Chain A
Amino acid sequence: MDWLDFFQSITDGLLFGSIYALIGIGFTLIFGVMHKINLAYGAASIAGAYVSIAVAAYVPLPALVTFLIAAIGSGAIAFLIYLANFRFIPLASPLATLMATVGMLILIDEIVVHATDGMPQPYPALFADIYIEWGDFGLRGDLIFIFVLSLIAMVVLMFMLYRTRLGIATRAVAQQPVAAQLAGISLDRTNALTFVITGLLGGLAGAMIGASVGVLSPLLVVPITVKGLIVCVIGGLGSIPGAIVAGLAVGAFENFFLAFRGVTERDMYVMLLLFVFLVFRPGGIFSRSVARD
């Protein structure tokens, strides 16, 4: 493997990693606001993409609109997950909501398998015919599109969090729920809206995964969930900048090992990376290194 291959694989990985960043942001936002993990999040993201092809089967749609419908579909599913798994389940028990979301993950997975007879469904790619070359180094158009779309989604999210009333509510609930209520902020409403926002991001990510892989399959759910959780751990649970950096890093890291060691070994190294972080930086990249005492 020469330097060019190295740079090529890292660059492709960084671009694709923006999807992991979106998924990681989704997990981390819910954790930040509710201090809960929504394990059904990856499933909702992929299910959103399925919703968009279901709609596209009846009405012919431009690919970009398909992406938007995926986001909206996943946002709606995320809201349902909030109602079913968080709204009426005692939050004081850490296991209750976690197990409920495991159930929801399997339920969504089963519905998808049932609806598609377990067959992978083709998903439209965007700008797949574009390839920008500099000698032997090149950039895939679809990956650039994924990267740019993710970037736009992140900018919109940051604007929402730091410049809007909903953003004030979200951050207030995350930092100090009692004081947030005393200021007149409703926990239920804020939590529900946070779920919808993470759903929108997830649906976009699900559509981009479908587009870059070329097909949608229920088999995508578990890897996406696991990668999203790894991104959260590496970025530090609750940290959005952490999730962004970690998402890109995990993308680059796994793509490097894909090129270097092949597809069958790739995920083993990603898992090793997870353990390295849990031992040496359990608080994530932006925390100080911690001695175990």
Chain B
Amino acid sequence: MLEVSDVAVSYGNIEALRGVELSVEEGGITCLLGPNGAGKTTLMMTIAGILRPRRGRIRFLDRDITGMRPSGVVKRGIALVPENRLVFPAMNVHENLIAGAYLRLGKRKAQVQRDVDHVFERFPRLQERSKQLAGTLSGGEQQMLAVARALMARPRLLMMDEPSLGLAPLIVEEIFRIISDLNADGTTIFLVEQNAHMALQVADHFFLLEQGQVSFSGKPGQLSEHEVIQRAYLGKSAQHDPPAGDRGRPDGTTHPSG
């Protein structure tokens, strides 16, 4: 469904992604794991069209979307739930959802309203808080709102960047239950996670991103959870002795959060 080939992205002189290769199968839950600064968020932002790759190709449903504007990417059927949720704080919950359907506003009002009702069925707590400003919601509610807002774009592929970040364990479980439900209802999921334990429970396939490159790809169970977690949190160098210097710093703090 989504194929990323040889994608490289730089911030000035700093290379965040160095030829990433990965693909997301339709209908499944694919997870991207990796330590801080590996380039996970950069990859998400590049697929979504916010960042432009220096080289490489991104294809979605057999069409080239490399370097496309974010609105074009949304139109093709990809929605991203960004890291830290990024709700519109001074809009109420209902307005946040309407904004999520921006590209359909005006032309398809009735359809958008039906989608709002549909989203409220899935997230009853959001309906209760429909008139509340998004900035006053709890972290878990904001995460649900961010997911709901992305759903308002009617995505075929829903990308989520660390949906469990900073949430209490019970809320994290709820978020992962929602992810499974959405997938069961036919939405393909591409998930970035730090919480490798939770991610490996729901994912059909996972990729390990380390220092801007995919270092492992496979199904959960192909690598022991212990090793995945070691590498997802600390980077490859924590597991093996670095061969003569080119593996980055042993503490895994390669770049600021990426």
Contact = CB atoms under 8 A, between A and B. Distances in A.
B61 interface: no
A168 B95 contact: yes
Q: Which of A168, A179, A182, A186 has the most CB of B within 10 A?
A: A182
Contact of A182 (B50, B95, B98): B50
A169 B50 contact: no
A289 B89 CA distance: 22
Interface string A170-189: 01100110111111111000
Interface string B33-57: 0000000000000001110000000
Interface string B80-119: 1010001111110001001111110110000000000000
A124 B249 CA distance: 73
B95 to A, nearest CB: 7
Contacts of B48: 182
Given A168-B95, A168-B102, A168-B105, A183 B153 contact: yes
A111 B193 CA distance: 58
Contact of B71 (A165, A168, A172, A184): A184
Interface residues of A, number: 16
Contacts of B153: 183-184
Nearest to A171: B91
Contact of B70 (A165, A172, A175, A182): A182
A78 B87 CA distance: 30
Interface of B: 48-50, 69-71, 74-75, 79-80, 82, 86-91, 95, 98-103, 105-106, 146, 149-150, 153
Nearest to B100: A183
29 contacts: A165-B102, A168-B95, A168-B99, A168-B102, A169-B102, A172-B88, A172-B91, A172-B102, A175-B88, A175-B89, A176-B86, A176-B89, A178-B50, A178-B86, A179-B149, A181-B71, A182-B86, A182-B150, A183-B74, A183-B99, A183-B100, A183-B102, A183-B153, A184-B71, A184-B74, A184-B75, A184-B103, A185-B71, A186-B69
B100 A176 contact: no
A181 B99 contact: no
A181 B105 CA distance: 15
Interface SS of chain A: helix, strand, loop or mixed? helix
A184 B89 contact: no
Contacts of A182: 48, 50, 70, 74, 79-80, 82, 86, 150
A179 B75 contact: no
Indicate the member of A179, A180, A183 with the most B CB atoms within 10 Å.
Answer: A183
B70 A179 contact: no
B70 A181 contact: yes
Interface in A138-187: 165, 168-169, 171-172, 175-176, 178-186
Interface in A76-130: none
